[in-house]
Amino acid sequence: MVYQLIAVLIMIAFYGVYFAKLFHQRKQGIQTDLLGKGKEGFTKFIEVTLKIATYAVVVVEAVSIFMNRYLDFTGLRAVGAILGILGVGIFIVSVLTMRDSWRAGVSKEEKTELVTTGIYAYSRNPAFLGFDLIYLGILLMFFNWGLFAVTLLAVVMLHLQIVNVEEDFLLASFGDDYLAYRKKVCRYIGRKR
């Protein structure tokens, strides 16, 4: 029951912030959800598959939490709770730091700024890191093979979004500034020497 409550609170906090930011930006005339929109080829495939995978994760997480069925790997449930809570914190800080430059997906028409301060001084992709930690945390709390499969798909698609879409977009948009930033800060966590 404790892990069910923790997982539900993690999901409420995470999706609450996600949708609050989306609606706040929509009121300002900013289109936040750009996944798959106006894209072609491999980029469209990645973004559409990512969207499907992240929706599937929500459904399978909710069912797993509600059914409270899991393969019990002693101690890993507590680790999962910690990772999930940490992921929510990282996600919230990244969204707040990004301000109105935050988007789900990329658009060549939408002009944003390159954010390199705050949490972005320690991770080039803290929102994605937050997603991954939340997914991993809930997976460890409610491990089952269905949840494992959709979590793995979502994490792989998030990574492909970064390396095949986001990084190319940032390089094209910000050039040398992005290259300098990439030389200093790791993709997920840490600073380079």
Answer whether residue 108 shows pLDDT above 80: no
Decide if 148 is inside a domain. Answer: yes
Which pLDDT score is estimated for 26? Answer: 78
Long-range CB pairs of 13-18, under 8 A, 24+ apart, other chains included:
13/88, 13/92, 14/87, 14/88, 14/91, 14/130, 14/134, 15/58, 17/88, 17/91, 17/92, 17/95, 18/91, 18/95
* Residue 40 pLDDT greater than 80, yes or no: no
Taking 80 as the threshold, does the pLDDT of residue 165 lie above it?
yes
Percentage with pLDDT > 90 across the chain? 49
Q: Quick check: 38 pLDDT over 70?
A: no
pLDDT (0 to 100) of residue 170: 85
How far is residue 182's CA from residue 149's CA, in Å, rounded to a whole number?
A: 31
Q: Per the domain annotation, does 69 fall within a domain?
A: yes
Q: Is residue 189 part of a domain?
A: no
Q: For residue 37, is pLDDT > 80?
A: no
Number of domains present in the structure of the chain: 1
Give the model's pLDDT for residue 10.
Answer: 96
Taking residues 97-125, what's their average pLDDT? 77
In a domain, 190, yes or no: no
* Position 145 in a domain: yes
| 116-130 residue pLDDT tens | 889 999 998 999 999
Query: What does DSSP assign to residue 1?
Result: -
Does residue 31 or residue 51 have the better pLDDT? Answer: 51
Range of the domain at 148: 2-184
- CATH number, domain containing residue 70: 1.20.120.1630
**Residue 193 within any structural domain of the chain:** no
17 domain-assigned: yes
Task: State the pLDDT at residue 113.
Answer: 80
- Please provide the average confidence, as pLDDT, over all residues in the chain: 86
74 domain-assigned: yes
pLDDT (0 to 100) of residue 36: 56
